Structure 1
Amino acid sequence: MTISGAVALGVLLIVLYRVVSTPRHVDGRAADHFVASSYGLPPREQLDSRRPGPPPPVYRTKERQAVADAAWEGDWETAERYVSAAGEDWDERWARLELLQHVAREDDAWLEAWHAAEPGNCDAATLRASLMVHRAWEVRGSGYAHEVLSSDMDRFRAMLPAAIEEAQRAALLDPANPGPWVVMITAARGAKYRRARFKPLWEGLVARAPHHYEGHWQALQYWCAKWYGSDRRMMRFARQAVRKAPPGSPLAGIYLHALNELTERHLVVAMPFTPLTRKTLKQVAASFEQVPPDDERLPALRHLLAHYMLQSMLYTAALEQFRLIGPWCGAQPWFKYEHAAIAFEIARATAVKRSRTRPVSNPPVYGMSR
C-alpha cells in the first residue's frame, strides 16, 4: 500500500454520514442556473470530491513514502531522523509521529527494534504508547458508549492503563517533549479520568506546548458532553483556543470542530447562531489569513468555516472562503449528503445569491494543475 492514503486518514479524518434534509439557509434552487465562474469560483465541471484541498507537494509525498518503505524494510534509523528533523516544531513533530503510527499499524517490527536499540528515545516510546491507545480504540470502535458491546468496552478499558504507563515513561525521557502528554490526554477519557485527574495532564501539555493543535483537539473531545464535559464547557474551551491562537497556527479551527460536535450531538443540520458565534467565526477567518497556505490542516478547516458562515448568514464572508477553497469539495460537511459535489455547489450558489454578489466582468480561467 502507499502511505498517502494513510496520511489522509490520519491527518484529515472525515466522518461520513447522511442526512435527509437540506440545511437551513441553503437554497437548493440557488444552483439551478448558477454559473460559478461568473463569481470568481471554479466551474461545476472542475469540482473534485476526492480531496479537501490540493495534494501535498510531490517532494513531501515522496519523502513520506520513503520513510514508510524504509521502516517496513526494518530501517528504523530513517524514521528516527525523520522525527528528529522537526526539532521543536511540536505540531510538525506530532504529525510525523502520526505518519509513523500508520506505518506501524501495518507492521511494527521496526518500531520494536527502534525501542530496543534506543530505550531512552522519547519519540520511540511515545510512538509505542500512541499505537497502544489507537489499538485499544480500534477494539472499542467509534460509536457512542451504548452502541459498543460490553465485552469490547471491557477490553478497551483494560488496554489503556498500560498505554498511559508507557506514555508516562516516555515523558521522563525528555521532559520538554509534549508528545507523551498528548497521548495521555487522548487516553484519559477512555480511561474514565475525572476532571481532577485530567487537569494535571492538560497543564503538563500546555506548559510544554501551549498551542499544540492535536492536544487541543483531544482535550476538546474530553470537554464535550458525550464524555466528561458539556456543550457550554466545550464551547468555552473552543473560544479560548481562538483567542490564544498564535499567528501562523490553525488552532482557531478548534472552534469549528466544536460547532460540528454540537451539530452531530443534537442530530440537527443547523444550529441557532448568536452574535457571539458570528463574531467568533470572523475571528477564525482572520486567524486563518495568517496560516501558511500550504498547511495541510487548513483546507478541511476552510470547508467547515464556509459552511458555518453560511449557516450563520455571513454570506459574503462565506463566499470568500469558497473562493479560497477552489474546486476541492472532498470534506466535511459536504460528505453528510449523498452527493458531496452537489451539496457543495448548492452551498456556493446560496452564498452568491444571499450575498447579492454581482457577476465579475472578466472571470478567471481555472485549471486543475494543483
Structure 2
Amino acid sequence: MSFLFGRKKAVDVCMGDPDANLLRKALGAGDWRTARDLLTAHTDPDVRTFYYKICATVDGVQDWIDEWIAAEPHSLVPLLVKGVHGVSWAWDARGSAPASDTSSAQFRRFAERLKIAEDCLDEVVERDPDEVVAWASLVTSARGRSVGYEETWRRFDNVLRIHPFHVEAYQQMLQAMCAKWMGSDEEMFTFAREAVAQAPEGSPIGMLIPSAHLEYRMSDNLVEYFTRADVVAELHAAADRSVRHPAFRRRQGWPQAPNMFALAFCLAGQYAAAADQFDMIGDLATKWPWELFGDPGRRFHDLRTEAYRKALR
C-alpha cells in the first residue's frame, strides 16, 4: 500500500447529519436556546452522545457557557455541554505530541481544563446518577487525570449499568486498556474481542477489532502486520458481525465504523473489502482514524482512489 499525495480535502465532523450542523451553528453563535432544543430532542444514549460530542468540536463555547448555566441553573444540559466540551478543550491544550515533546505549560493547561471539565461532569452524575453521557465522558477524562485502574473501571461500569453497549464508552475504554495508558497488549485485545463477541450483531462496536490491531502496530511494520493471515481473518470476522451485517444501522455517527474498517482493509491489502466500505461511506470521511497518517480528508480520498483502482472498480 502506498500513500498517494493529493490536495487537501475537508472532513465533515457532522458526518452528514443536518441537525448536528444546526447544533454547531447555534453553539458558534452562542444561541444556547436552539442548542438546548436540539440536544434534548433525542433519548437514545448513543445518539445523545453523538450530539454532545458535536458540541466539543465548536471553538469558543467555554467563553460563554457559564451564561447558559446561570440562566438555567436547574438544567443539567449546559453543565453537560461544558463538561464534554471541556474534556476536548483540555486535549487541545495538551496536543498530540509525545510527552517528551510536550511543554510543562501545555501539561499545566491540560490539567486545569480537565479539572474544570470533571467538576462539571461530577456534578451532573451527582445530580443524575443515570446520565450516561457524563459517565462516558468521565471514562475519556480518566486517562488524562491518571485516576487509576479501579476508578476508570468504576466509571465504565456505570456506563454499562445504564447502557450495556455504549459505543463511545467502549472506544474510550479500549484506549485506556492500551499499553501506553494503564493496560497491556493482552488486556487490550481481550477487552476488544470480548466486547465484540458480546455486542449485538450489527453493532459498530465491531470496530474495536481493527482499532486494537492499529494501536498494537501503529509504529512498527504496519502493513506487514495487517497482511498476516490471522489478522486478515479477524478483520473479516469482525466486519461480518458489524458493518457488513444486515442489522447495521445508519444512524447518527454511523460513518465512524466503516471508516475504521476501510482503513484496516487497505492496510491488509483487502482492496475489494475496502472498496465495499468506501461505497457505503460515500464522501463521509471521519477525522479518526485517517488523521493518524496526516490530513484526514486527503488520506481518505487518496486511499479510496487506490482501493478502487486495485479492486478494479
1:79 to 29, 35, 41: 35
1:318 CA displacement: 4.2
| Aligned equivalent of 1:220 | 174
Q: Quick one: distance in 1 between partners of 2:238 and 2:205?
A: 12
The superposition leaves residues 48-105 of structure 1 with CA deviations (integer Å, 9 ceiling, x where unpaired) of: 955589962xxx53x4444444445554222222111112x011111111223334x3
Pair 51,164 (structure 1): closer, same or farther in 2 beyond 3 Å: closer
The residue identity in structure 2 corresponding to 1:188 is A
- Listed as ranges, the matches of 1:109-128 within 5 Å are 110-128=64-82
2:60 to 98, 101, 106: 106
Q: Quick one: distance in 2 between partners of 1:303 and 1:329?
A: 7
Which deviates further from its counterpart, 288-297 or 225-234? 288-297
| Aligned equivalent of 2:233 | 278
1:265 CA displacement: 3.9
| Aligned equivalent of 1:196 | 150
- Listed as ranges, the matches of 1:1-370 within 5 Å are 22=2, 50-51=10-11, 56=16, 60-61=17-18, 63-71=19-27, 74-87=30-43, 89-103=44-58, 105-108=59-62, 110-266=64-220, 268-272=222-226, 273-275=228-230, 278-288=233-243, 289=245, 290-293=247-250, 295-298=252-255, 300-312=256-268, 314=270, 317-325=273-281, 332-333=289-290, 336=293, 340=299, 341-352=301-312
Contact 1:140–1:156 under 8 Å retained in 2: yes
1:250 CA displacement: 1.5
1:111 CA displacement: 2.6
The residue identity in structure 1 corresponding to 2:254 is R
The superposition leaves residues 153-184 of structure 1 with CA deviations (integer Å, 9 ceiling, x where unpaired) of: 23323443343232111102222211111221
Pair 174,138 (structure 1): closer, same or farther in 2 beyond 3 Å: same
How many percent identity over aligned positions? 24
Q: Quick one: distance in 1 between partners of 2:225 and 2:183?
A: 19
Contact 2:53–2:85 under 8 Å retained in 1: no
Structure showing greater Rg: 1
Aligned residues: 303
Contact 2:93–2:106 under 8 Å retained in 1: yes
1:285 CA displacement: 3.2
Q: Quick one: distance in 2 between partners of 1:185 and 1:205?
A: 9
TM-score, normalisation: structure 1 = 0.69
1:253 CA displacement: 1.5
| Aligned equivalent of 1:44 | none
- Can you give the 5+ residue segments of structure 2 that lack an aligned partner in the other structure? none
- Can you give the 5+ residue segments of structure 1 that lack an aligned partner in the other structure? 1-20, 29-47, 353-358, 360-370
Q: Quick one: distance in 2 between partners of 1:139 and 1:73?
A: 23
1:342 CA displacement: 4.6
The residue identity in structure 2 corresponding to 1:221 is Q
Contact 2:50–2:253 under 8 Å retained in 1: no
Pair 211,202 (structure 1): closer, same or farther in 2 beyond 3 Å: same
Contact 1:316–1:351 under 8 Å retained in 2: yes
Contact 1:252–1:284 under 8 Å retained in 2: yes
Contact 1:185–1:201 under 8 Å retained in 2: yes
Residue aligned with 2:310, SS:
helix
Contact 2:11–2:285 under 8 Å retained in 1: yes
TM-score, normalisation: structure 2 = 0.80
